Each structure stands twice: as structure tokens, then as C-alpha cells.
Structure 1
Amino acid sequence: MAESATLQELLVRCAQSDEKALETLYRLTSPQLFGVALRMLRRKDWAEEVMQECYVRIWQNARNYSAAQSQPLTWMSRIVRNACIDWLRKPQLEIPDADDTIINEWADEAPGPMARLAQFQDSKRIAECLKRLEAIQRQVIAMAFFDDLSHSEIAARLAAPLGTVKSWCRRGLERLKGCLA
């Protein structure tokens, strides 16, 4: 570990915007300060992020350092400690998902908002076109597509000849096609 006088000199030079001094200060103090951060945060990625913030704070506040009040390493350790406390207090919105289990559990095949809007608009157009059909054509098409009934089943339910049901369905579909075009 570097001597206190060396660290004091480096802090004075940092206060004068000497980037080389910050580089040397980092090289001399980062192992010990990183250890402080790691002990407090218990996650290497968080400690690395906090350390980056801390050296920016040290650089920006070097002019406020007073050798009469504390040793350089004590002053820098206090900055690290306070930054770690701030980090632990802020809400952690990040949820680690290294193996994508969260994404896979929440993923579904449902269409997204734009696809749903397009479906809604298509459905609205189809509904408008269905309203323009004769009631019997609308009923036959609804039974065929929504109830999944065959022409024979529709004919039996409506007590209508099979050929008539097929004609209603065909004419209705032609009118729908023309309306939607």
C-alpha cells in the first residue's frame, strides 16, 4: 500500500486536473477500495459499477480533501462506503436472468399490440361487411365459420335443402369478398 504522503500528493494533483495522478491513484488504491465495495455489496458487477462512480467522485472532490481531517485512504474509503450505501438503497430494477428462464417463462405466442390493432381493424371491417349481408347469408356463414359446422349440418339445423344452404354460403362469401376488397 502506498504511503499516506504519496496519496495526499496524488489527491492534490487530481484537484489540479492531473489525469496521470488519477491513474496512479487508481492503480495504488483500487484493490483495497474494491475490497470494501465488494464486502458491502456482495456482487462483483455492482462493486465494479460503484468503483467507477467513486473514482469520478474522488476526481471531482479532490479539492475538498483535507489532510488535517483524515488520511487519504480513509477519505476515499468513506466515499466508497457512502456510494455503496446509496447503491443498496436505490431500487434494483435489474433482475439477473443469465439463462433466460424469466424470459422463457413469460414468453407467449400472443400477437403484440400492433398485430392486435390490425386484427381489431380487420375484425371491425369484417363485422361491417357482415352487417350488409342478408340475414340468412350472415347466419349460414356464422354457423360455418364460428360454429365449425359443415353444409350438411347447417342444412339439418335450418331444415333447408343442402343446395340452398351452399348457395346462401357461396353468395354471402362473394359479397363479403367484394365488400372487403
Structure 2
Amino acid sequence: MDPGASERELLARFRDLDPDAWETVYRRSYPRLRDFARRRLPAGMDADDAVSECLARAVHRVADLTDRGLRVEAWLFGILRLVVLEHQRSAGRHRREHPATAEASAHPAEHGPLTELLERELQGSVREAFSRLRPDDQEILWLRLVADLSAAEVGSVIGRAEGAVRQAQSRALERLRHQLKEVHP
């Protein structure tokens, strides 16, 4: 696909199931989709599987995709968000029905050098402070700052107005600053 193609052209070609458009969207969004799923899924669930499920649903629902001036990724994050929520609900039911096996899977294996890097003092403090935030604050910050979606795109994903997303982001950042001061004085 031509790197200079506009978002609208990409959207139209994506909606027409153009393989080049799908590959372009896949290459630029997969790492962020996987990271979002990895951070939001319960322990023991595979982020790659969740993203694959998201993309499979996207193929089946591509006719629902409308041009609202947003990137295709915003639509994919909306689908992935639903997939993650379904997995969270399923894991919750499993924990209630099988408490002994849920406890054993709550502590995944370490991941070598990456874990060592993340355990550095400041990074660990930021992660701790972030984990203390409410799930909706985490979701807003993740979608805005890590997934790099615009306020309008996040609004379309979570069903809020653009201004409400900006306000929620500002409040979430303030709460994160407060938590960081508690974790890393």
C-alpha cells in the first residue's frame, strides 16, 4: 500500500477487504493492540490470541465500519476492548467456580531480561502507581498515551465524548501523579 495514502483511502480499502490495506493496518497497530491486551488480560491468558480474535471479528464486522474521521485502529481497539472484557468476565467466573486453580495461575513465570529491566526502581514505581489506578483510569491512559489514539478515537472506543475523554485523562494523570508520590516519595 502506498505510504502516502490518506486515512480515508485506507479505511475505504480496508472496508473493501483489500489485502494491502489490511496488512498496513496490521503492521502499524498489532504491537499496540497486543500490548493493550497483555496489560488488560487476566494472568495466564494469551494477548496474541485476544488480538487474533479481535482481527477475526473485524473481518466479520467490517461492513459495520463507518467513516467518522477516525483511524481504523480506533475501531480495532473497540473490538479488542470487548474481547478483553469477555476474557475478564470468563476468568472471574472461573475463579469463583475453581478457586484453587485460579490461585496457582495468578503468578505467571518471570520473563528474563525484560523483567529485570522493568524492575528498575523508577520503572517499578511507575508500574506500581499505575496499577493502583482504577481500571477506567488505566484504560484511558493506556489508549491515549501508549496506543496513541486521539481523544476522539478513545471516545469512540469507550463511548464517551471527546471532551469527556480529555477531562478523564487529565484527572487520571493527576491521580497517577498522586500515586507516584506515595510509591516513590
Instruction: Report the TM-score range of the alignment, normalised by the length of the smaller protein.
Output: 0.3 to 0.5
TM-score normalised by structure 1 residue count: 0.42
TM-score, normalised to structure 2's length? 0.42
Relative contact order higher in (CA < 8 Å, ≥ 6 apart)? 2
